[in-house]
Amino acid sequence: MYSINTQLDYFKFGPDPKRMLANITWFKCAAAGDLKIQAVPLEDFEIEEFKNYIEANPCNFPGQYFIEKHRAGDQNAAPLNSPSTSGFPSWLLLSDDRQLQSGSDIIYKVMPAVLTDESCRNQKAYGLGFAVLGKIQVYKINK
C-alpha cells in the first residue's frame, strides 16, 4: 500500500484559475460518510496506473515523483463542505465525477480540481479509473 508524491502544475480549482506549483501527496479517494471522504493508500496496480497517468501528462506533473510505503490501515479523513481559512484548499480531488465539480466562489478545505493545458484555459480529460485525493504539502503561486 502506497502514496505517491509529485509536483502538480497547470491545474485549476474553484472559479478563478490560479497558476501555482504544488507538492502533493496522492492517495486513493474513498467515501467515509455523508460529509467526509478518506485518503487511503493505493494498491500496487493503482500505483502503476497513476505512474502511467503522470507520464502521459508531463506538463501537469513536472519533475520526479517518489513512492512512499504505508500500512494497510493508514487513512486520513478529509471533511467536505468545510471552508478553508487560508484561501487555498488543503486537499485536491481529481475525479471524473462531474457532481463533485463546484462552481462556487467559496474555497473549501477539499476542492475538486482539473488538469489544464499550459494556458490554464483548456481542461484535460480525467484518465484514471479511480478518484485520487492529494494533500497539498507546499505550494508556490506563479504570476
Question: What pLDDT score was predicted for residue 75?
Answer: 61
Domain count, the chain: 1
**Backbone CA torsion sign across 134, 127, 102, 121:** positive
Q: Which amino acid is at 80?
A: L
What range defines the domain where residue 71 resides? 2-141
- Strand-pairing partners, residue 132, are 28, 94
Can you give the pTM of this predicted structure?
0.86
pLDDT, tens only, 36-58: 788 889 999 999 999 999 999 99
Mean pLDDT of 120-131: 88
d(CA 20, CA 18): 6
Q: Worst-scoring range by mean pLDDT, 5-19, 61-75, 89-103?
A: 89-103
Q: Beta strands 110-115 and 11-13: pairing type?
A: antiparallel
What's the full length of the chain, in residues?
Answer: 143
- For cell 478518506, name the residue: 38
d(CA 65, CA 73): 23
pLDDT, tens only, 10-40: 888 877 666 788 899 999 988 766 667 888 8
Q: Give the residue ranges of DSSP H helices in the chain.
A: 44-56
d(CA 111, CA 56): 23
